[in-house]
Amino acid sequence: MSLTFPLGFTAAAMAAGIKPSGKTDLSGVTSASDCTWAFAGTRSTTAAACVTRNRELYASGQPVRALLVNAGNANAATGRRGAADNADMADAFGSVLNVPAGGVLTASTGIIGHLLPMDRVLSGIEHLPDELSEGADAFASAIMTTDTRPKAAQATLSTGARIVGTAKGSGMIHPDMATMFAFAFTDAAVEQEALRAAFPAIVNRTFNAVTVDGDTSTNDIALVLANGQAGEVPLEEFLTALEEVMRDLARQIAADGEGATKLLTVQVSGARTEAEALAAARTCCVSPLLKSAVHGNDPNWGRVIMAVGRSGAAVDVGGLTVSVQGQPVFAGGPLPYDAAQVSASMKADEVRFVIDLGVGEASGEAWGCDLSADYVRINAEYTT
């Protein structure tokens, strides 16, 4: 991966000593001019300090200029001290950039319930500006926790404006807004009102359509920052490109789920509403039984029927159809098929189920991964 940020954005990353591994764990992005922005944060009632503060800034409507991220420590369930530490991080980064603290967003990820080593964090922040560059690769790597690889995507619009997105997420991934970190940066000029009006639906169709294990983090954040340095763009073109970048990142997160060996994609059509289509697709992707079958290359379509049935989506069983890797296996009743051949087709990097609920015209898609023994190992040893 070799990626540069859009015009006016620079980033820096360093090892501040937050992670015991000594890997990069403190990073920041700054813009040469004020940004319009849109935000989504976890709906968890135990949200971390960074989510709470960002939500307050979002409500104020003020522009932002920078984002500071630390990995290795979630700064969640840390009380008033954690909230004060989060604010101090923003103040410190704003000070070295000569930007008001209210123009600095924060994001933390890692172990819950531990106070940040603020002496190391603040010392690192002082040196971050010395490392600023247009390269995005170091930033994409520095935000990772249990990810096995950095995640990035980009798009170029007809005007030459660009969108660059980075994300992190591997475990504790389930739809309840964002389900990970996802940051998009663009030099397109986009009105804040229009951006914020469109962003929730984009998040719902992308990051809220990803599930790895059914658990939602305390720290989930999705952001898009637009500094306008490349000028105005057609709004519809921009929003389409933004959703494509977000969808690409969402699929990368699902494919890199903890212990995953393959990406699970579930496409649902024939639903009464998009919400019901997404509910059915998500429920399939989070089902431990279906995820285990995918890991074992078992075309057990009964687990699809089970998941769809408990999803809350309306279904006409007589009109319901299911296919696995392009092979129809159910159409109002069982269909004959070569199980060994379908099983062999499931030995792939991506396993795809296509379902028609038979009750409407709406559709939706969700992404997950298989469930392997490595998922248990990774999380059994997470803090030990």
pLDDT of 172 > 60? The answer is: no
In this structure, the number of other CB atoms found within 10 A of the CB of residue 19 comes to 20
- Give the integer Cα–Cα distance in Å for 311 and 309: 6
Residue scoring higher pLDDT (85 or 111): 85
pLDDT of 260 > 90? The answer is: no
pLDDT at 215: 66
CB-side neighbour CA atoms (13 Å) of 342: 20
State the pLDDT confidence band at 376, using cuts at 50, 70 and 90.
confident
**Which helix H or strand E contains 255, and what residues bound it?**
helix 235-255
Residue 277 in contact with residue 269, Cβ under 8 Å? yes
Residues 6+ apart with CB under 8 A from 83: 49, 52, 53
pLDDT at 116: 97
- Give the integer Cα–Cα distance in Å for 289 and 307: 9
pLDDT of 34 > 70? The answer is: yes
Give the CA distances from residue 383 to residues 20, 69, 76, 87, in Å, rounded to whole numbers and listed in that order: 11, 21, 15, 26
pLDDT at 156: 98
pLDDT digits (tens, 9 = 90+) for 215-253: 677 888 999 999 999 999 999 999 999 999 999 999 998
Residue 39 in contact with residue 49, Cβ under 8 Å? no
pLDDT of 177 > 70? The answer is: no
Which of 68-77, 145-154, 327-336 has the weakest average pLDDT?
145-154
Residue scoring higher pLDDT (147 or 63): 63
pLDDT at 236: 97
Percent of the chain with pLDDT over 70: 96
Q: Strand, coil or helix: what is 35?
A: strand
pLDDT at 384: 60
DSSP symbols for 259-317:
T-SSEEEEEEEEESSHHHHHHHHHHHHH-HHHHHHHHTT---THHHHHHHHHS-----G
pLDDT at 350: 97
Residue of 109, 130, 150 lying closest to 18 (CA atoms): 109
Residue 215 in contact with residue 42, Cβ under 8 Å? no
pLDDT at 379: 75
- Give the integer Cα–Cα distance in Å for 85 and 282: 36
Residues 6+ apart with CB under 8 A from 82: 48, 49, 75, 76, 115, 116
Q: Helix 235-255 crosses helix 192-205 at what angle (to 10 degrees)?
A: 30
pLDDT at 91: 98
pLDDT of 179 > 70? The answer is: no
- Give the integer Cα–Cα distance in Å for 48 and 155: 31
Q: Is 179 a catalytic residue?
A: yes
Average pLDDT over all residues of the chain: 93
Q: Beta strand 350-356 with 263-271: parallel, antiparallel or unpaired?
A: parallel
The sign of the CA dihedral 174, 179, 180, 183 is positive
The amino acid present at 256, given as its one-letter code, is D
Q: Across-strand partners of 151? A: 167
Residue 15 in contact with residue 25, Cβ under 8 Å? yes
pLDDT at 113: 94
Q: Which position among 10, 24, 109, 179 bears the catalytic label?
A: 179
Say whether pTM exceeds 0.85.
yes
Phi, psi of 10, rounded to the nearest 5 degrees: -135, 160
pLDDT digits (tens, 9 = 90+) for 38-47: 999 988 889 9
pLDDT at 375: 76
pLDDT digits (tens, 9 = 90+) for 62-96: 999 999 999 999 999 999 999 999 999 999 999 99
pLDDT digits (tens, 9 = 90+) for 52-64: 999 999 999 999 9
pLDDT at 359: 98
Give the CA distances from residue 20 to residues 25, 72, 108, 217, in Å, rounded to whole numbers and listed in that order: 10, 8, 16, 21
pLDDT at 180: 77
Percent of the chain with pLDDT over 90: 82
pLDDT of 154 > 80? The answer is: yes
State the pLDDT confidence band at 382, using cuts at 50, 70 and 90.
low
pLDDT of 381 > 80? The answer is: no
Q: Beta strand 9-14 with 362-369: parallel, antiparallel or unpaired?
A: unpaired
